[in-house]
Structure 1
Amino acid sequence: MGDRWQVEVDRGVCIGSGLCVNTAPDAFALDTARQSRPKDAEPDASEEILEAAEGCPVEAIQIALLGSGEQVFPPED
């Protein structure tokens, strides 16, 4: 079985650019306030979700390994 992630969007930071939805339409959606939200907060790890997080212009998407909480994105300095 592969890794599973905990995906969160910081709604205080999200500007609703929609890049995450364009990059990973199966993983993210914009709500009525035009802010991103994960469709599944605990998805299987995927390159598409990581690309969406990396492409977010304000780094509003955080990804951690489910269970351990180890940060996947943004990378720790």
Structure 2
Amino acid sequence: MPARLRVRVDQDKCQGHARCHSLAPELFKLDTFGNAHEVGDGAVPAGLEDKAWLAQSNCPEIAIDVIEE
């Protein structure tokens, strides 16, 4: 069984570039300041795993963790 993924945005690092939201709006939402937050509990639905890794690799602040469960 493949590992389930979860995304988490480190609020201390996020600077509001919003690349993650642009690349994976299903996984990230923006607050009124433009900072990203994971949608719900951060669970990555099946089929969106590549978007989670892409968002992580494109974050200039290295603020996104992808956790394998």
Gaps of 5+ in 1: 67-77
Q: Which runs of 4+ in 1 moved over 3 A?
A: none
Q: Does 1:43 align with 2:40?
A: no
Equivalent residue pairs, number: 66
Percent identity between the aligned chains? 29
Gaps of 5+ in 2: none
Provide the C-alpha distance between the structure 2 equivalents of 1:35 and 1:2, rounded to a whole number of angstroms.
30
Which region of structure 1 is more displaced relative to structure 2, 17-26 or 37-46?
Answer: 37-46
C-alpha offsets along residues 1-59 of structure 1, whole Å, 9 cap, x if unaligned?
54211211010100000100111111111111211011141223610111011000010
Secondary structure, counterpart of 2:62 in structure 1: coil
Secondary structure, counterpart of 2:11 in structure 1: coil
Q: Does 1:61 align with 2:64?
A: yes
Provide the C-alpha distance between the structure 1 equivalents of 2:30 and 2:2, rounded to a whole number of angstroms.
27
Q: TM-score, normalised by structure 2?
A: 0.83
Query: Which residue number corresponds to residue 30 of structure 1?
Result: 30
Q: TM-score, normalised by structure 1?
A: 0.75
Which has the higher Rg, Structure 1 or Structure 2?
1
Which structure has the higher relative contact order (CA within 8 Å, separation 6+)? 2
Write the letter of the residue equivalent to 1:6: R
Kept in 1, the 8 Å contact 2:44–2:52? The answer is no
Query: Which residue number corresponds to residue 73 of structure 1?
Result: none
